[in-house]
Amino acid sequence: MKELPLTRQRIQSIDVLRGVIMIIMALDHVRDFFHITAMTDQPTNMATTTPALFFTRWITHFCAPIFVFLSGMAAFLNGQKKSKGELSLFLLKRGLWLMLVEIVIITLALTFNPLYNFIIFQVIWAIGISMVILAALVYLPFRVLLIIGLCIFFTHNLLDYPEAARKEQLNLFWGFVHGRNAMVVFNPTHFLFVAYSFLPWTGLMILGYCCGKLFTVQTQTGFRRKKLLQMGFGLLALFIVLRLVNVYGDPFPWTPQRNGVISLLSFMNVNKYPPSLAYCSMTIGPALLVLALIENSRNKWTAFFNIYGRVPMFYYILHFYLIHFIFVACFFASGYGLKDAFNPQVPFGFRPPQFGYSLGIVYLIWISVVLALYPLCKKYNQYKSSHTQWWLSYL
């Protein structure tokens, strides 16, 4: 077995940013399981939310788009060591593997139901299908690929209008492509839920792939930083303009609320399912700014985030199972029994609709989960950095 030195070259700013969003991502999943109103209300419901609850949900909006965008960048950088054919085959295999992971491993982590009565297509599925599509597109000239990504990014919200005209009564195919929270009922006890329709996410991955060109060894640091800052501020400006105009870029325009603070929350409340142009601009813009600003940062915080960012799939799978196991312990400790484990109103096993804790407890559990996984992630990163087994590229 060939071993590699632990100093194998990686772009730390990408790993650090990925680590930050992986940690924030866990907050949303902890909230789903542990917050008292997670199953009975939406944190973005302007009539009932509070600034603290809204922010807890809003900050996690950054996770999925940045995760997908960085996956595209990683694909481009991975391709610097491969031929087009090798890269295409790798993306195809990895994409199919990720879709299988979503259906088999992540669904089980969420539901704890070995019968798979409820299958959920989330971000891992979106990354997987986007990689399969990208596997075919990598043969195109770079400029053509960039144009395709930009067209999807800027124009996919045109589909909101025919969808609204049909009152979102869409067929299964459209549910996978661009629909909003499509549900497929196979029989009274088996369901498939498409939370992440793939078209907008594929557009983000393509743009991430194209942005990866800025991180090649041929690109000077100063030029890369300048371009990242320009694009980052440009996307933030676009977000503000789209929300001020309030006509295009998000299927749900913001509206004045009962006071100025809640009106601001409405302004910031953009659509994730599927991700709107305003949503993507609001999230990818700051990501590009962070990449520009932390490239040369080396301190204990970047070292901490770097660990999670180097083993994202390992962490992602473990954190779901850990969160759910902790919740099961709380479930039984609160006096519930096996007869209460599965409720048709809630896809998560052992999750009664009316059960949960305050937001403060949610944050304590989130911090505990993240810190508990740090030693395992660090150990796996050390192993992955010094070994070359084929399966390490898939976990």
In a domain, 4, yes or no: no
- State the Cα–Cα distance between residues 288 and 292, nearest whole angstrom: 6
Q: Which distant-in-sequence residues (6+ apart) come within 8 Å of 380 by Cβ? A: 311, 314
Number of separate domains in the chain:
1
Q: How far is CA 13 from the centre of its chain?
A: 18
Please provide the average confidence, as pLDDT, over all residues in the chain.
93
Q: Which distant-in-sequence residues (6+ apart) come within 8 Å of 127 by Cβ? A: 67, 68, 71, 95, 98, 201, 205
In a domain, 198, yes or no: yes
* Count of alpha carbons within 13 angstroms of residue 198, beta-carbon side: 20
Whole domain around residue 364: which residue ranges? 12-389
In a domain, 112, yes or no: yes
pLDDT of residue 2: 42
pLDDT of residue 344: 79
In a domain, 214, yes or no: yes
How many CB atoms within 10 Å of residue 344?
A: 10
User: Taking Cα atoms as reference points, which of 369, 277, 279 lies closest to residue 321?
Assistant: 369
Q: In this model, does residue 199 exceed pLDDT 50?
A: yes
Give tens-digit pLDDT for 246-295. Answer: 999 999 999 999 999 999 999 999 999 999 999 999 999 999 999 999 99
Question: CA gyration radius for the chain?
Answer: 21
Q: In this model, does residue 175 exceed pLDDT 50?
A: yes
Q: Which two tokens stand for residue 222?
A: 């100063």
What is the rounded average pLDDT of the residues 349-376? 96
Q: In this model, does residue 4 exceed pLDDT 70?
A: no
* Count of alpha carbons within 13 angstroms of residue 309, beta-carbon side: 25
User: Taking Cα atoms as reference points, which of 159, 165, 190, 162 lies closest to residue 177?
Assistant: 159
pLDDT band with cut points at 50, 70 and 90 for residue 5: very low
pLDDT band with cut points at 50, 70 and 90 for residue 223: very high
pLDDT of residue 1: 39
What is the rounded average pLDDT of the residues 19-30? 98
pLDDT band with cut points at 50, 70 and 90 for residue 189: confident
In a domain, 67, yes or no: yes
Q: In this model, does residue 170 exceed pLDDT 80?
A: no
How is the beta sheet containing 182-187 ordered, strand by strand?
A: 118-121, 190-194, 182-187
Give tens-digit pLDDT for 90-129. Answer: 999 999 999 999 999 999 999 999 999 899 999 999 999 9
More confident: 152 or 181:
152
In a domain, 354, yes or no: yes
pLDDT of residue 386: 87
Q: In this model, does residue 8 exceed pLDDT 50?
A: no
* Length of the chain, in residues: 395
In a domain, 5, yes or no: no
Amino acid letter, 139? Y
Q: In this model, does residue 314 exceed pLDDT 80?
A: yes
In a domain, 2, yes or no: no
pLDDT of residue 224: 96
The most distant pair of C-alpha atoms in the chain lies apart, rounded to whole Å, by 65
What is the rounded average pLDDT of the residues 307-311? 96
pLDDT band with cut points at 50, 70 and 90 for residue 3: very low
What is the rounded average pLDDT of the residues 364-370? 98
Q: In this model, does residue 139 exceed pLDDT 70?
A: yes
More confident: 289 or 182:
289
- State the Cα–Cα distance between residues 49 and 246, nearest whole angstrom: 22
What is the rounded average pLDDT of the residues 338-354? 88
What is the rounded average pLDDT of the residues 319-340? 96
